Every structure is written in structure tokens, then in C-alpha cells.
Structure 1
Amino acid sequence: MHAFAVSGLPEVRPGDDLAALVGDRAELEDGDVVCVASTVVSKAEGRTASLADFPAGPRAREIASELEAATGDEKDPRFAQAVLEESVDLLMEAPFLLTETRFGHVGVNAGIDRSNTGDAELLLLPENPSESAERIRSGLDADVAVVVTDTSGRPFRHGQRGVALGWAGMPASRDWRGETDRDGHELEVTVESVVDELAATANLVSGEGDGGTPVVVVREFAFGDHGGSDALYREVEGDFVRQALRGWEYARD
């Protein structure tokens, strides 16, 4: 397996055909996995906004005030309003906003970006990244899979890593349950999130900041003869970390 960035992509504008932009610059082969940064997907889909689009309501002003008290930094209540409107659940209010997006991803500030936004103040995540992945996939000539990626942190570790927000043309996970390890013991719980691993692979190649390239092709990845699943996001009933957060309060001191 190897990965390479697609070079020469222009600045993406609303309405741009990402499949055409990629197809014109990469000789894709059947079985490739095309990993596309959510930043350019959002730009193509017109998911830019300004703070003025989100006049702050009472709840947003309350949250901004609490964040200022917790962090000592000034917070714009309009940004808090944007986060609320892009979320279906608010898991943490301080020292940062941890939310669930409409499509199930849990992340800081509903994934709203304030860098690499072009002329806009805010860049929102795609409304449905898996549908976005399918649209890109259907516009490409080769029989490929597409993964829409982002970067985020994870509990208990420093740093950011690539994660999948949406996918098409392959399952999200391969299921090892029922298979055996090298000692013949049956695996009972192992479900491998391959779309996250592919997103992390792409992130190593794509880079960050002003030198980043938003599309990476992973070639010769083999899913193998395993069961597959699209259940990437945990259900609330089985998400014990989320349940614990509901009863947790941030104490600055």
C-alpha cells in the first residue's frame, strides 16, 4: 500500500466539481481510496459563513460568558451560536465546546474552522459527508472508494490526527469478530475502523497549514475477506464516556 498527494489543485470555490478537479490531475485505478479533506468539500458546497449570519441568542451569550470565565479569553457569542446551530448535542460547555454534529461526529466547536477559510470568517463542515463522498465517487471514472477527512484530537493524547467524517464505496470498519488470532483464540470485540486509519494515512501525506494538499490517493489497500460495518459512531446508550460527561462539571481551579 502507498499514498500520494494529488498536486496542482486550484483554490476550491463554491460550485466547483471536485470529482472533475481530481480526475483531471490523477490517474486513478480501480480499488484506489481517494481521501478528500472536508475543507475543500465544504468550500465546494458553499458551506462558508460569517459571524453576522449567527446573531447570538440568550443561550449562546450565556455559553460565551461561561467560556470567558473559564479560560480568561474573550469569546464571541455569535461563534457560540454558530456551534449551537451546527450541533444536535452539547456534551461539554467548558473549557471548550464539545458537540455532536447532525451526522454523528463528536468534536470541538462542531468542527467549525476559522483557518483556511478563504474570504469567509467561518467554514462549516459538510452537511452530510457520506453523501458528499458518494457524489465525488460517482463523478470519477475509476471504481474507487472516497473518504472525507478532517483532523481532531482524542482524549488522553496530545496532538491531532486524521479521522473520517464520511465515506462511500467501502464499509467504515472491518469486523474481525469470530475470526481467530495466531494462537487460535476467537476474537470477540475487535472491529477495526479502516476509514479512520485511511484518513490518518492521508493526513501524513497531505500536510497541514499553508503547505497542505487536500486530496490524497491511497493505492493497493486491501479490505480483505472480512465482515464490514458502517457503524462508525457509537450509539448514546453504549457510549459510556458520553454518559460520564453528562454528569461532569469543569472546575477552573
Structure 2
Amino acid sequence: MQLEPVTDLPEIRPGDDLAALVADRATLEPGDVLTVASTVVSKAEGRTANLAEYPVSGRARELADRIGAVTGEEKDPRFAQAVLEESTELLIECPFMLTETHFGHICVNAGIDRSNVPGHDLLLLPRRPTESAERIRAGLEEHGLEDVAVIVTDTCGRPFRHGQRGVAIGWAGIAASRDWRGEPDRDGRELGVTVQSVVDELAAAANLVTGEGADGVPAVAIRDWEFGDLPESDELFRPVEDDLIRQALRQWAFEGGEH
């Protein structure tokens, strides 16, 4: 498998045609996968905001005050309001906000970014990242780059581990996972639970190439990777009725004192 960064992309602005910009700079072949960071997708879609745009509700002020009291750091209630408006459920409210976004992704602060946003305070995640991936894929086809899958990626932390890694939040032209259930292991025993999250693994691999911070490259072309003949699925976000962790969090409350 080969991963090649798409370099020399300009600072992305609202209305920019990401597909055209990538097509001018990348050599893509049928069967390739293009990963695109959600940051540039959001910028092209005008998903920037300023804190002044968020009138503070009582709920937002309560959350900011409580988090500030526990962490010892002042929290802006306008930011808490932005998180609430970008979320459908607040799973943890203290000492940080863990939320479900409107498209089903669970992450801290609804994935709102406060870095690398020239001229604005906040960068919000794309409203519907899979639709964003579909538009980029269609745009590539218009430029003669056919049969290229697209994955919109983000970085987020993981329970029980330090650090962040790349994950998929939207995809087009590729299934989210491949199902190993029913396949034999090396000893002939049938696998019963293994479903491989392919789009997440490709997003994580691409993140090794894109980098972080000021050195970030927002797009990567992945070549010579094959999905195989296993059953496919587009399920990525676990449904609530099967999510034991979410069910437990709904009954959990933070009771810690000040640090």
C-alpha cells in the first residue's frame, strides 16, 4: 500500500472546489482512496463561526461554570453553547463535554476546533460528512478521475489511551467495514465477532502522512489497497440499543471535586 500526500494546496476558503484543487495536484487512478481532512472540508463549506454568534443559555453557563470549577481553568460559556448547538446528546458534561454530533459521531466538544481558523474563533465539523465525501467524489469524476473512493477524516482521542488518531466521519465509494464473521482463523475456528473498520484504519494510516498542527497536509492518496471479497457493511456508528458504553454513561454522573 502506498500513501502519497497531496501537497501545495492553498489555504481553503468558503466556496472553494476541493475536488478541482486536488485533481490539479494529485495523480489518482481507479481504485485509489482519497482521504480529506474535515478541516478543509469545513472551510470550503463555510463552517466557521465566532463566539459572539452564540447567545449563552442557562444550560451553557451552568456547564462552563461547573467545568471551570473542577479543572481550575475559566471556560467560555459561549463555547459551551456552540458545543450544545452542534450536538444531539451530551454523554459526559464534566470535567469535559463528550457529545454526539448531528451525524452520529461521538467526540469531545462536538469536534469543534479552535486552531488554524484564520479570521474566526471556531471551526465546526461538516454538517453531513458523508454527503461531503459524495460531492468530492462526484467532483473528481467531473475532472476525469473516476472510481476514486473518498474518506473525510478527523482526529480524536480514545478511551484508556494517550494521544489522538485519525478516524473516518464520512465516506463515499467504499464500504465502512468488512465482516470477518464466519471466516476461519488459522486453526480452523470460526470467527464470531470480528468486523474490521476499514475506513477508520485507512484514516489512521493517512494521518501518519498528513501530520498535525502547522505542518499538516489535508489530503492523502492511498493506492494498491484492496478491500477483498469479504461481506461489506456501511455501519460505523454503533446504534444506541447495542451500545453498552453509552447506556452506562447515561446513568453515570461526575462527582469529583476541584483538582
The answer to whether TM tops 0.5 is: yes
| Count of residues in Structure 1 that have an aligned counterpart in Structure 2 | 253
Q: Compute the displacement of 1:252 (Å).
A: 2.5
Tell me which amino acid in the other structure corresponds to 2:19: A
1:73 equivalent in alignment to 2:77: no
Q: Compute the displacement of 1:231 (Å).
A: 0.9
1:170 equivalent in alignment to 2:201: no
Q: Under a length normalisation based on structure 1, what TM-score does the superposition of the two structures give? A: 0.99
Aligned to 2:84, what secondary structure does the other structure show? helix
Residue number in structure 2 paired with 1:25: 25
Tell me which amino acid in the other structure corresponds to 2:197: S
Find runs of 4+ consecutive structure 1 residues off by over 4 angstroms: none
Residue number in structure 2 paired with 1:124: 124
Residue number in structure 2 paired with 1:94: 94
Residue number in structure 1 paired with 2:159: 155
Structure 2 distance, partners of 1:243, 1:174, is 26
5+ residue gaps in structure 2? none
Tell me which amino acid in the other structure corresponds to 2:233: S
Tell me which amino acid in the other structure corresponds to 2:207: N
Aligned to 2:146, what secondary structure does the other structure show? coil
Q: Under a length normalisation based on structure 2, what TM-score does the superposition of the two structures give? A: 0.96
Correspondence list, 1:1-253, <5 A? 1-140=1-140, 141-253=145-257
Structure 1 distance, partners of 2:68, 2:223, is 46
Give percent identity, aligned residues only.
69
Aligned to 1:213, what secondary structure does the other structure show? coil
Q: Compute the displacement of 1:212 (Å).
A: 0.7
Structure 1 residues 174-210: Cα deviation after superposition (integer angstroms, max 9, x where no partner): 0111111111111111100000000000000000010
Q: Compute the displacement of 1:247 (Å).
A: 1.7
Structure 2 distance, partners of 1:157, 1:196, is 17
Q: Which moved more, 1:177-186 or 1:29-38?
A: 177-186
Q: Compute the displacement of 1:251 (Å).
A: 2.9
Structure 1 residues 101-130: Cα deviation after superposition (integer angstroms, max 9, x where no partner): 000000000000000112110000000000
Aligned to 2:65, what secondary structure does the other structure show? helix
Tell me which amino acid in the other structure corresponds to 1:35: T
Aligned to 1:165, what secondary structure does the other structure show? strand
Tell me which amino acid in the other structure corresponds to 2:25: R
Structure 1 distance, partners of 2:239, 2:147, is 31
